[in-house]
Amino acid sequence: MQGDSAGIDARHLPGPPGRGDSGGADAAAVPSATWLRRSAGTFLGCVTALLELLYFLVAGIALGPFLLWPLTRAGALGIVMTGARRLATLEGMRRAVFFGDRFPERYQASDRKILRYLAVRSYSGLLCAVVLAFLGAGIVLAALVVRRLAEGSMRWDELLTQILLGGVLLFLDLQGLHSLAALDARIARACFGPSERELLQRRIHELATSRAAVVQAVDAERRRIERDLHDGIQQRLVALGMLLGRARRGRGPGQADALLRQAHEEARDLLAELREVTWRVYPSALDSLGLKEALGGVSERCAIPVRTEFDVGGPLPQPVETAAYFVVSESVTNAAKHSRATAVSVRVALRGTMLTVRVRDNGRGGANPAGGGLSGLRSRTAALDGVLRVDSPDGGPTTITAELPCA
């Protein structure tokens, strides 16, 4: 049997049909059109259920001996599955056209799942046809009752009995149609999209992968901090100590003053680098002043012009603020150091429960999404169920977009 393919997207699972935004008369016509389309899809489902039952009967009679013989079983099963997949595709088109369902494009159901779906679909479709037949018969009987009532040939006790019996049968018919429609949608979702178990397994895999990626990103960040402290600040401290030692041993006041000036400049540069390292570890302004002011600090420290648009109307969760800050900080730093950009634009916007962070520079492009910095950002956003996209063709520009859910 063929296994279900991976790489599915749960956001494309079947859902309720969408409705366009209309006003006035158009808005009033939408529910009626939807009801008519669903009714047509239900009637068509009864026809396709009959076709599926006939297909299995014909295929079983024609290929039954070949399915029983081990040497020809694989070939016969392949022939059966070719027709079964076409019928399943027809059912998927019916669900998409008449009910507005959307299914994952890259998902391929197994042979066992398709056969099980068509078997249940043929049974439920024929049962739906029986229920519709009873409903039609009830409508005809109701018309006869109305006719007899108009002719005056029906007693009141008979009328009450017919109304009570017809109401009960109508309720049972409508309830049966509703249940069969729900069953049809449920089995379609199980066949054409991942099941709840598959979604749970996918979610577990995503969480395990994101957790491992976060651990790797934290270790890489620690190594980078250690490298900055060892190769940068530590070396400057050594140089500062040597300058102060030479100033103490200086033989003339002029030489000592010059060494002290150098030591003062070195201390100033050391403080600036230490401040830069602490900001890269975690900006204190993020907690005290908020994301907007922290991003303003990124713009001030950047060597190239940075234009920032901040369109956030409400408070953000602290993990989302932190992730957004590091996406902007790392992207701006990469643009200033590696892309030869002369300008960077940053846009942070909150739409509903989704925070979108977009950083764009006019550099030469060619950024590697698998690089250490960008892979760390992807791990940080994935830990929050977010998405990071990198668009950096050769010649530029480079656009880095992060989408972070706030719910």
Dist. CA 166–CA 389, nearest whole Å: 60
Phi and psi at residue 350, to the nearest 5°: -110, 120
Mean pLDDT score, 128-151: 86
Domains of the chain: 10-194 (no CATH), 203-281 (no CATH), 285-405 (3.30.565.10)
List the one residue out of 340, 345, 336, 363 whose CA is nearest residue 401: 345
Q: What angle do CA 74, 77, 82 make, to 5 degrees?
A: 125
pLDDT in tens, 243-274: 777 777 766 677 777 777 777 777 777 777 77
Dist. CA 270–CA 234, nearest whole Å: 9
**Per-residue pLDDT, 346:** 92
Going by C-beta distance under 8 Å and a sequence separation of 6 or more, which residues neighbour residue 260? 243, 247
Measured from the Cβ of residue 253, the count of other Cβ atoms closer than 10 Å reads 8
Q: Would you call 218 helix, strand, or coil by DSSP?
A: helix
Dist. CA 344–CA 358, nearest whole Å: 10
Q: Which residues of 62-83 are buried (b: 16+ CB within 10 A; e: fewer)?
A: ebeebbeeeeeeeebbeebbee
Query: What is the band of 15 on the pLDDT scale with cuts at 50, 70, 90?
Result: very low
Dist. CA 359–CA 332, nearest whole Å: 8
Looking at residue 24, its amino acid is G
**Per-residue pLDDT, 29:** 36
- Mean confidence (pLDDT) of the chain: 79
- Indicate whether 279 pLDDT > 70: no
Number of H helices, E strands in the chain: 11, 5
Dist. CA 33–CA 14, nearest whole Å: 20
- Percentage helix, strand, coil for the chain under 3-state DSSP, each rounded to 5: 70, 10, 20
- Indicate whether 173 pLDDT > 70: yes
Phi and psi at residue 103, to the nearest 5°: -120, 155
Q: Would you call 399 helix, strand, or coil by DSSP?
A: strand
Within a 13 Å sphere around the CA of 145, how many CA atoms are in the beta-carbon half? 18
Task: Give the global pTM.
Answer: 0.49
**Per-residue pLDDT, 372:** 65
Dist. CA 36–CA 45, nearest whole Å: 14
- Indicate whether 54 pLDDT > 70: yes
Query: What is the band of 169 on the pLDDT scale with cuts at 50, 70, 90?
Result: confident
List the one residue out of 325, 250, 251, 248 whose CA is nearest residue 284: 325
pLDDT in tens, 212-236: 666 666 666 667 666 767 667 777 7
Q: Which helix (H) or strand (E) holds 238?
A: helix 234-248
pLDDT in tens, 330-385: 888 888 888 888 889 999 999 888 999 999 988 888 887 776 677 778 878 888 88
Dist. CA 256–CA 269, nearest whole Å: 20
